[in-house]
Chain A
């Protein structure tokens, strides 16, 4: 119940295309859903986050879509660029009960020039 399932495991997109990464969760107590970006040799860095009171959040080329009833959320990268090539992690956390901050298994994105 504490898992966050992420797909796909890897993704190849042409420059200018849309990259879509999906995550699903079970625990309805999760109430914070961030996405992190990780480059090789670096720690993950926060990209964008959403709370369940909104269905979409957009920051520049990055958009989170959130479906509370389906317990799913996704990251859309518009106009994907080679510099976006990285590993992306979704996460979920809750302050209800034993507080945990759980990450998905990651998606390795490669954007072809």
Chain B
């Protein structure tokens, strides 16, 4: 158990809808990362937060947004969903912003129909 909790585990929704994915990092970890993993694809970096502030953005669509709250949990909001957004979304946390191991949750599987 990595200590990172992601909810929900599965999410099925229709095109055009909006969903929110939630991540609770390991106790004491200040950094939260979001990644998208499509079928047979690698881990696409979406966004990184450190102690409530956005630190880096990857290939995150404008329809997607995220935030990290004062209690350090993070939410990834996906709107105007398209079929191609169907993927596994992972959250990972680490204690600091510098190079260190990431601890991943077990992901949220999003299916857009």
Q: Which of A's residues lie within 8 Å of B, judged by CB?
A: 6, 31-32, 34, 36, 41-46, 49, 51, 89, 93-95, 98-106
Determine whether the beta carbon of B2 is less than 8 Å from that of A89. no
Residues of B within 8 A of A94 (CB): 99
Min CB distance, B49 to chain A, in Å?
11
Determine whether the beta carbon of A101 is less than 8 Å from that of B97. no
Q: How far apart sit A99 and B53, CA to CA, in the bound complex (Å)? A: 13
With A42-B106, A101-B33, A101-B48 given, is the CB distance from A93 to B42 under 8 Å?
Answer: no
Check: B18 CB closer than 8 A to any chain A CB.
Answer: no
Q: Which residue of B lies closest to A94 (CB)?
A: B99
Determine whether the beta carbon of B58 is less than 8 Å from that of A100. yes
Determine whether the beta carbon of B106 is less than 8 Å from that of A89. no
Residues of A within 8 A of B98 (CB): 95, 99
Determine whether the beta carbon of A105 is less than 8 Å from that of B104. no
Residues of B within 8 A of A102 (CB): 45
Residues of B within 8 A of A103 (CB): 35, 42-43, 45
Determine whether the beta carbon of B104 is less than 8 Å from that of A101. no
Q: How far apart sit A105 and B42, CA to CA, in the bound complex (Å)? A: 4
